[in-house]
A and B are shown apart, each in its own frame.
Chain A
């Protein structure tokens, strides 16, 4: 479904990603883990179209989408929940969600999607008229993910959903991702919380200093000596 081939990307003169390649098939739940500054977020931004890669190819659903701007990748079915969330802080939850379905013209379908995300995150339903800027950290994450799935994406990319969250809220967010996976969505999850992430995902890639250094089924990665030493502290 998504194939990344030898991507080199970065910001200005600073190159962050060096020949990164990986593959995601339909319906998979993929983890992209690694230490700070490894290039995880940059990878997602490149796929989403916020950054233009210097070289390499991004193939999505058989089409080469390298360098497509972010508003068009969204229309192709790639949804990106960024680390800073990028919510519309002066709008209500409800309006944020409606904008999440910006590319869907059918009003009925928009409302159906809103019902779906309200079922997934009942907390949001209770606060639907509250401004997004006044929500707590956990609610913001939920809203960002909810807005991300409003456009019925085929690939959902989530950047660091656990960052700054209490452990219980983190579990809530992961549970929601699990539900989405079961409904058939392909998910690419970027996390620093390696242990939990590798327990719930199917496969994982380990990124270090802008390069993929390890890959494999998540269960095997958990047993890997390097992962144990570097991330799990065992």
Chain B
């Protein structure tokens, strides 16, 4: 079938309107700031921004998705990040030790991917367990005050997971020096470690697959349908429970994957999930709750803010500046930069 586009506005008009919107201004400012900083201090700013930005994007996308589809403000999201890095550590570390004794180029190349992939699976599984064990029973019992109740539940879950991990594996740091024990690559005058490059590629590929899944497959459409109109989704024959489990699994899996990919930067320890949780919330509040594609952009913007802050002002300010920016932004745009209206369960 041929795509016929009627009522199409000229590109310039659309572009101009976009440039005038809060989102357009922010993106332009961010790009300009990134370019200036790069000229001023070198390309590593961009590299750092895109590497962490990709991972923040994966994290906040999951958080946003769960809020949009299930109306759960998930404060246990950081724990999925932690579960991911724990899994990757326990899968990868024995392999690393084994490979130290029995070197094998091929195995050392793929072992990290195995760890990251397993982290994704374990995270997704935890997501499904959480949905089936906690949210599904709550949903059946009552939907009154859903957002508040689910919020309190997630905070509780977070505490339980953190303390269980501490009980079982102790409070010490579990980290690795690097995934790939090879020399950093020289690229445009920047030394880029293979770990960072792999993290960047992984996040870009995952985002692309995720985008394709949400836009072009019937299941992805069903996920969006549930977010937009639950009754409508039921009426066209979508199995709500399946979609909700899938959403939770995806969200948790992506967070775990981010945790696993960044294990070389953020070692695993019981409260390691808190910082990523705050970052993910910065991002979704900045761009607007429940707006999934904007969360990706927001991930990069927050990463840029953090990189710039830690380079120009000091690492200690890394949380202060983004928070201040969000507070200022909320005064002018209370529903976020790309403001989307999320229909709560209580309104449906």
Q: Could you tell me which A residues sit within 8 Å of B by CB distance?
A: 48-50, 69-72, 74-75, 79-80, 82, 84-91, 95, 98-100, 102-103, 111, 126-130, 147-148, 150-151
Contacts and interface: CB of A to CB of B under 8 A. Distances in A.
Q: Which of A49, A70, A111, A126 has the most CB of B within 10 A?
A: A70
A89 B228 contact: yes
A151 B236 CA distance: 8
A86 B7 contact: no
Contacts of A151: 236-237
Given A91-B221, A127-B7, A129-B5, A70 B232 contact: no
The 4 closest A-B CB pairs, nearest first, are A86-B232, A74-B237, A70-B234, A103-B237
A82 to B, nearest CB: 7
B218 A71 contact: no
Contacts of A84: 231
Nearest to B4: A128
A74 B232 contact: no
Given A95-B221, A99-B221, A87 B232 contact: yes
Given A82-B235, A102-B238, A147-B236, A88 B224 contact: yes
Interface of B: 1, 3-7, 218, 221-222, 224-225, 228-229, 231-240
B237 A71 contact: yes
Contacts of B225: 88, 91, 99
A74 B6 CA distance: 33
B228 A100 contact: no
Contacts of A128: 4
Given A127-B7, A129-B5, A102 B222 contact: yes
Contacts of A91: 221, 224-225, 228
Contact of B235 (A80, A90, A111, A130): A80
B69 to A, nearest CB: 13
Nearest to A75: B237
Contacts of A111: 1
A86 B233 CA distance: 8
Given A98-B221, A99-B221, 10 more contacts: A50-B235, A71-B235, A74-B237, A82-B235, A86-B229, A91-B224, A91-B225, A102-B218, A126-B6, A129-B3
B238 A71 contact: yes
Given A98-B221, A99-B221, A99-B222, A86 B237 contact: no
A100 B236 contact: yes
Contacts of B5: 129
Contacts of A69: 234
A90 B60 CA distance: 21
A10 to B, nearest CB: 18
Q: Is the interface of A mostly helix, strand, loop or mixed?
A: loop
29 contacts: A50-B231, A50-B234, A70-B234, A71-B234, A74-B235, A79-B235, A82-B231, A86-B235, A87-B229, A88-B228, A88-B229, A88-B233, A90-B224, A91-B221, A91-B225, A98-B221, A99-B218, A99-B221, A99-B225, A99-B233, A99-B238, A102-B222, A102-B237, A102-B238, A111-B1, A126-B6, A127-B6, A127-B7, A151-B236
Contacts of A130: 7
B6 to A, nearest CB: 6
Nearest to A74: B237
Contacts of A148: 235
A98 B215 CA distance: 12
Contacts of B1: 111
Contacts of A150: 236
Contacts of B236: 74, 99-100, 102-103, 147, 150-151
Contacts of A127: 6-7
Contacts of A89: 228-229
B144 to A, nearest CB: 12
A72 B232 CA distance: 13
A213 B62 CA distance: 53
A82 B234 CA distance: 12
Nearest to A125: B4
B246 to A, nearest CB: 14
Nearest to B219: A102
Nearest to B215: A95
Contacts of B7: 127, 130
Given A98-B221, A99-B225, A102-B238, A88 B6 contact: no
B218 A48 contact: no
B249 to A, nearest CB: 19
Nearest to A144: B232
A71 B5 CA distance: 33
Nearest to B239: A71
B228 A90 contact: yes
A114 to B, nearest CB: 8
Nearest to B5: A129
A80 B233 CA distance: 12
Contacts of A129: 3, 5
